């Protein structure tokens, strides 16, 4: 046996979120799958708005963790031998969970009452481990880059499902970044007429390409009067997808009476809810997709190839901090993917 074999644990490159506006890429031990887990080789991992919020504020996660939950990967090692090496998968990011409490028995591991200590690193790394039960196979005719969007499109599909619009209903989407554009796609698939709002022209253009009836600049045109001109009832469903408080305020203003407001961004500031009361609106938020909504996302991406346009850029893992800094400054692209080994 070579002298170094025991001491030289295999290493990988990984991007660590160290804290406020700091991501460093460094060597880390190759993660070993525990019982019931597999090791994955990451192909692409998308930067989520929530990851950028971590970076901008230093809050929500960390310090010193590997983020990344929007990924495509190939199975590297399944000790149980169920998933063959090279199988292309995405991961339902539900947390681990004890598997026994009331929430785990409903497969809602994210609400586990007794979460185990084991923490999985995320997808901003060459490799990660994940519970085998959370793997979802990527269809053969869907490419790795597009498939990395299964999680955020799964969020949008679940959000639209919970708002339950009827075909023909007017929908309002505030913020045409990646989650907003995925929400537009999910609403169009549900048969809605969609009004999109975003101050940036290239995002509005993409919104129209994905099926918005109209996309306008909410700093120039008033969302409420624009919506009422399109339908006197106003929007039946309205989504906050910009992650900023002014946008959430505007969504409550623009939503029609008895409408449903879905909050898919993370606005980190207070809003006034008087309009919600006066118009008897209902509001909800979600923390992630369901396994089923991710499966539907993979199907929808095959049916509608234009959805892949939401992904504007892939950058090598080594440039993670630069990619985050640009997104935090608002000019880095729409959905940016990190590509380990890219
Ligand atoms: Zn996300
Ligand atoms: Zn549990």
pLDDT at 94: 77
Angstrom distance (rounded) from CA 117 to CA 133 = 18
pLDDT at 8: 59
Quote the DSSP letter at residue 199: S
Q: At what angle do helices 245-254 and 223-230 cross, to 10 degrees?
A: 30
Fold of 11-137+304-339: Quinone Oxidoreductase; Chain A, domain 1 (3.90.180)
- CA-CA-CA-CA dihedral for 309, 312, 317, 320, to nearest 10: -140
Split at pLDDT 50, 70, 90, the class of 315 is: very high
Angstrom distance (rounded) from CA 197 to CA 219 = 9
How many angstroms separate the alpha carbon of residue 268 from the centre of ligand 1?
16
Contact 146, 308 (CB under 8 A): yes
Q: Which CATH number fits domain 153-285: 3.40.50.720, 3.40.718.10, 3.40.50.300, 3.40.640.10?
A: 3.40.50.720
Domain boundaries, the chain: 11-137+304-339, 153-285
How many angstroms separate the alpha carbon of residue 96 from the centre of ligand 2?
8
Residue 342 has pLDDT above 80, yes or no: no
pTM above 0.85, yes or no: yes
How many angstroms separate the alpha carbon of residue 108 from the centre of ligand 2?
8
How many angstroms separate the alpha carbon of residue 173 from the centre of ligand 2?
35
pLDDT at 2: 44
Contact 191, 168 (CB under 8 A): yes
How many angstroms separate the alpha carbon of residue 126 from the centre of ligand 2?
29
| Residue with more model confidence, 213 or 108 | 213
Segment 177-202 shows an average pLDDT of 97
Segment 135-146 shows an average pLDDT of 97
How many angstroms separate the alpha carbon of residue 101 from the centre of ligand 2?
4
Angstrom distance (rounded) from CA 181 to CA 23 = 27
Residue 305 has pLDDT above 70, yes or no: yes
How many angstroms separate the alpha carbon of residue 49 from the centre of ligand 1?
6
Split at pLDDT 50, 70, 90, the class of 243 is: confident
Residue 7 has pLDDT above 60, yes or no: no
| Residue with more model confidence, 331 or 149 | 149
pLDDT at 335: 94
How many angstroms separate the alpha carbon of residue 100 from the centre of ligand 2?
5
């Amino acid at each position: 046996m070579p002298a170094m074999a025991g001491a030289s644990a295999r290493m990988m490159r990984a991007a660590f979120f160290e804290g406020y506006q700091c991501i460093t890429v460094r060597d880390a031990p190759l993660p070993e799958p525990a019982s019931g887990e597999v090791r994955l080789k990451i192909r692409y991992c998308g930067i989520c708005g929530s990851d950028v919020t971590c970076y901008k504020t230093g809050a929500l996660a960390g310090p010193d963790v590997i983020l990344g939950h929007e990924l495509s990967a190939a199975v590297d090692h399944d000790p149980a031998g169920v998933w063959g090496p090279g199988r292309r998968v995405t991961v339902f990011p539900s947390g681990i969970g004890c598997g026994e409490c009331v929430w785990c028995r409903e497969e809602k591991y994210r609400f586990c009452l007794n979460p185990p200590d084991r923490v999985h690193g995320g997808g901003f790394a060459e490799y990660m481990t994940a519970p085998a039960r959370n793997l979802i196979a990527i269809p053969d005719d869907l490419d790795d880059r597009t498939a990395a969007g299964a999680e955020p499109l799964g969020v949008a599909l679940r959000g639209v499902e919970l708002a339950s619009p009827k075909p023909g209903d007017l929908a309002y989407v505030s913020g045409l970044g990646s989650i907003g554009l995925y929400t537009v796609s999910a609403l169009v698939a549900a048969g809605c007429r969609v009004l999109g709002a975003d101050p940036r022209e290239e995002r509005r253009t993409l919104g129209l390409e994905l099926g918005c009836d109209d996309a306008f600049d909410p700093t120039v045109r008033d969302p409420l009067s624009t919506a009422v001109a399109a339908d006197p009832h106003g929007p039946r469903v309205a989504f906050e997808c910009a992650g900023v408080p002014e946008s959430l305020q505007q969504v409550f203003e623009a939503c029609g009476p008895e409408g449903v407001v879905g909050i898919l961004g993370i606005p980190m500031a207070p809003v006034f809810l008087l309009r919600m009361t006066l118009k008897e609106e209902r509001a909800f938020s979600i923390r992630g997709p369901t396994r089923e909504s991710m499966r539907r996302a993979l199907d929808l991406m095959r049916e509608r190839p234009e959805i892949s346009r939401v992904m504007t850029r892939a950058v090598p893992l080594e440039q993670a901090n630069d990619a985050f800094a640009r997104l935090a400054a608002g000019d880095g692209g729409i959905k940016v993917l990190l590509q380990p080994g890219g």
